[in-house]
Amino acid sequence: NLNESIRRSRGEFIAVLGADDLWEENKLSRQLNFMNDENVVCSNGIVIDAVDKIFLPSVLHFRNKKYIDIEDLFIENCILASSILARKYVLTDCLMFDEEIGNRSEDYALWFRIAHKYRIRYIDEKLVRYRVHGNNLSLRSTGNKIEVHLRNLQLIEQNTLLHPELGIYAEKGKSQIYGKLSRLYYFENLLDSSLYWCKLLLRVDRPRFSLRFIKYLCFYIFLYIKKCIVPSRSKLNNHED
């Protein structure tokens, strides 16, 4: 149990490393250089496969950024759990990982709680290797992705109540999730659900009338035509009422 391990730890700092992930040799030393002035530090990373081949050369794409703000978290979960180095009292003060939330969202909830109280220093160096392989691909299945996106959407909405002045960033984050959900439901041939989330995206993005808006408008038209030709087997879930 991760929280129990944090409680039992005696050191000043806590660093988390996923079972399949790797740290670069200088990961801790680089981050410790910043801890005289900071309470929480995180970094960039790369994605590797089962045989250590680089699958994605960079997870994050920030430029000239020193701190991860709540605004950034509203837009996406941009903190790699295995890259975190934090003072123990920060984690305990922010209630550690909420294990009742479920896999792959408990960290997102914690980053929000930390960002409410502390600044999060970002080091734009690839100090972590996040591994994707056959044993954890189930976590990336369509059903699991949908579940995670729905949880993350709920987290964004909850934190918007605490920071209504940051609503514009929350809308951007929700729009990203709407698009992902629309595509995922389409892959599952749940056309009603796909149309629902696509329509929400269009409502949010309409004022900007961006290239992305046009792309999803075309997608919506495609979905509607397909629904008329091939009846969907989907029923809207309770969260779509």
How much is the average pLDDT of 218-225?
A: 96
User: pLDDT digit string (tens) for 50-65?
Assistant: 899 999 999 999 989 9
Long-range contacts of 9-14 (CB under 8 A, 24+ apart): 9/88, 11/88, 12/87, 12/88, 13/85, 13/86, 13/87, 13/88, 14/84, 14/85, 14/86, 14/87, 14/88, 14/91
Chain-wide mean pLDDT for the chain? 91
User: pLDDT digit string (tens) for 6-31?
Assistant: 999 999 999 999 888 999 999 999 99
208, pLDDT greater than 80? no
∠ CA 32-54-143 to the nearest 5 degrees?
Answer: 95
How much is the average pLDDT of 195-222?
A: 92
How much is the average pLDDT of 144-172?
A: 94
Distance CA(29)–CA(49), nearest Å, equals 25
235, pLDDT greater than 60? no
User: Which DSSP state fits 134?
Assistant: T
234, pLDDT greater than 50? no
How much is the average pLDDT of 33-59?
A: 95
Residue of higher predicted confidence among 11 and 139: 11
How much is the average pLDDT of 38-54?
A: 95
pLDDT band at 101 (very low <50, low <70, confident <90, very high): confident
70, pLDDT greater than 90? yes
User: pLDDT digit string (tens) for 104-137?
Assistant: 689 999 999 999 999 999 999 999 999 987 666 5
Distance CA(158)–CA(57), nearest Å, equals 33
98, pLDDT greater than 90? no
Task: Name the packing angle between helices 142-162 and 167-187 (round to 10°).
Answer: 160
- Looking at residue 138, what is its pLDDT? 45
